Amino acid sequence: MVLLDGKKTANDIKEEIALEVSSLIENGQKKPHLAAILVGNDGASETYIHAKVKACHKVGFESTLIRLDNSVSESELLSEIKKINNNSDINGLIVQLPLPDHIDEMKITQAINPQKDVDGFHPENIGRMVLNIPTYLPATPAGILELLQRYNVVTSGKHCVVIGRSHIVGSPISILMARNTNVGNCTVTLTHSRTENLKEITKTADILIVALGKAEFVTEDMIKDGVCIIDVGITRVKSTVTKSGWKLLGDVSFEEVKDRCSFITPVPGGVGPMTIAMLLKNTLKSAKKMIY
């Protein structure tokens, strides 16, 4: 079994980005600049946003974190987005999800200038992805592709089964794995909460991408020997062992399945760090005007 080490790979990518930033600066250009908006103080969102800000500093980007109270109105949030859209010093903008119930997430996603949409969630960028036009790919699916590519996992002609059909992971990765590209050319089956006989389907997977948010859902009886497993899930559970009092679990029972896999991502240290690395890569692409 080969561990798909997202932490190490993400660090390699960050070093590559840092070199590019140095050469931009040497050529008299500005540092890439990522702005992030955080609404409220949800613990998991705080953790993710701080990891993103820290990663910006590590590669030499400028970053701006805008914190808004949980009670902020939708129109106030929209006007913050407008200000950043119009600020030519800022290359990328992300709004940390989830948002409070009184704010329409889709409206917010659509308010971000597609040229600064480094999360790749705007309908224009999703459309470009589907049509195979250069775009900002959504960061988590892009991270999965990058891991598969860097570890030379063969995808062409393979059966890829995806569990979960969210807008940010399951749906886009199912499209990307089916594209006629180097990582791609799979026959893809997208499964979800209404899928019947899930186990019969997952047992036929050569590549199994799991993104449903249920800790240790995939067990040994659901896979075939030699499968490559990408575990996207992150669930926080209480722990008496860790200093923080909690630990992270994936959607796959890692210990149960690991010896039967050809490749597998750990949680933590798999897809999570890759997501952040891809966000940085998209921001660099924006600064270099590589997409628009």
CA distance 134 to 136: 7
Residue among 5, 14, 31, 96 flagged as catalytic: 96
Q: Is 96 in the site for ligand NAD (CB under 6 A)?
A: no
Q: How is 108-150 classified by DSSP, letter by letter?
A: HHHHS-GGG-TT--SHHHHHHHHTT-S----HHHHHHHHHHHH
The answer, yes or no, to whether the previous bond of 98 is cis (omega within 30 of 0) is yes
| Cα–Cα separations (whole angstroms), residue 198 to 169, 195, 217, 220, 275 | 19, 6, 12, 13, 27
CB-CB contact of 223 with 246 (8 Å): no
- Closest to ligand NAD by CB, 31 vs 52, is 52
Instruction: Name which of 148, 142, 152 is nearest 160 in CA terms.
Output: 148
User: Residue 7 interacts with ligand NAD (CB under 6 A)?
Assistant: no
Q: Give the total of residues touching ligand NAD (CB under 6 A).
A: 23
Whether 96 is catalytic: yes
The window from 19-27, 112-120, 210-218, 258-266 that contacts ligand NAD (CB under 6 A) reads 210-218
Pattern 107-146, ligand NAD, x by CB under 6 A: ---------------------------------x------
Choice between 61 and 217, CB closer to ligand NAD: 217
Q: Which of 72, 95, 211, 228 binds ligand NAD (CB under 6 A)?
A: 211
Q: Are 201 and 175 within 8 A, CB to CB? A: no
Q: For ligand NAD, which residue of 92, 164, 184, 266 counts as binding (CB under 6 A)? A: 164
For the beta sheet containing 92-95, the strands, ordered from the edge strand earlier in sequence to the opposite edge, are 62-68, 33-39, 92-95
Mark whether 52 is an active-site residue: yes
Q: Which of residues 223-282 bind ligand NAD (CB under 6 A)?
A: 232-235, 271-272, 275
Q: Is 287 in the site for ligand NAD (CB under 6 A)?
A: no
- C-alpha angle with apex 11: 271 to 289, nearest 5 degrees? 90
Confirm or reject binding of residue 192 to ligand NAD (CB under 6 A): yes
104: annotated active-site residue: no
> Which are the catalytic amino acids?
52, 96, 119
Binding site for ligand NAD (CB under 6 A): 140, 163-166, 168-170, 191-193, 195, 198, 211-213, 232-235, 271-272, 275
